Every structure is written in C-alpha cells, then in structure tokens.
Amino acid sequence: MDLNYNDVMRITLFILIITLSASLAGQPYEHSLGVRAGYSSGITYKGFFRHQMTAIEAEVLYNRHGFNVTALYEYHLEPFQNKRLIIYVGGGAFGGNWDEELSLGGAAVAGLEYIVRDLPLSFSIDWKPMINAYRLFEVDLLDFGISIRYCFAI
C-alpha cells in the first residue's frame, strides 16, 4: 500500500477536523499495560497525566528492522460523546536496532481506543509511521497494530 501526497493530506485534514471539533473530559483511566500485535509487536504501557486527556506511551517492540524502544506523547479526544471510545494522535522518539545498526528516529501515532465498561480492559488500533534518522535514513509508513491493555490505578 503506497500512500501518496494527497492521501497523507486527507489523513492530516481528517485528524485536524476531529481535533478541533472534539470536546474534552477527564481521563478514561490512569495506567494500562498490555501487548501490541501487528507490524511491530511487543509490550506497551500508557499512563495518563492526572485530570487531563494527555498521556505518555512507552513501547518495547520488535519488527522486521529489529528491537526498538519508543516513547510517545499522545493527545486524546472524545469526539463521539462516548466516554469509552476515544481517538488519539501524538508523536515521539524511538531508539534501538534498525537493520543491524544503532538507530534513533521519530514516530507519529494516530489511533482509536475502546475502553470496556465492566472490565479493566482497553482495545486499540493504531497507525505509527516512523522515520529513522541516525546512520541509516529510512521511512517506514506501514506500522499498523492492535493492542489489548489491562487498565489499573496506583
């Protein structure tokens, strides 16, 4: 699947429209820990900042390039007036192994998360394009994945 300039602009416009039209509420949960499966698979943790709809996500993942650790800052929206279904967008950095070389780069993320009402679980589907900028410059746009996380408070 090749994304051209027009496709990327349509996706960006869609995310901006949702961002500007969404209303914010309190955080849906405090912490979550689980697994991500897809192009990059591994362990994922998300922690919300108290009384805000922003979170940090830390991942230890493996994909065709090798192992990497990713840290993302995410902004969450509730555009559907449903406190269990949220959209998130964000970005951050990663480091690790990229085709047998040390790597450092940037990553963006856009996704949809569903929080189960009566169970401490959340399910999400996301797209996380990456740009490796250290030693080997390479762009990887095909990182789609699904996650299941256990939600908890400390």
CATH (domain of 143): 2.40.160.20
pTM over the 0.85 mark: no
Q: Which domain holds residue 55?
A: 5-152
20: confidence class by pLDDT, cuts 50, 70, 90: very low
Q: What value does the CA radius of gyration of the chain take, rounded to a whole number of Å?
A: 16
pLDDT digits (tens, 9 = 90+) for 41-77: 999 999 999 888 899 999 999 998 889 999 999 999 9
CB 144 within 8 A of CB 24: no
State the average pLDDT for the chain.
86
Q: Higher-confidence residue: 126 or 14?
A: 126
Count of domains for the chain:
1
Distance, in Å, from the CA atom of 67 to the CA atom of 102, rounded to the nearest integer, reads: 10
Residue 11: pLDDT over 80: no
Q: Higher-confidence residue: 20 or 91?
A: 91
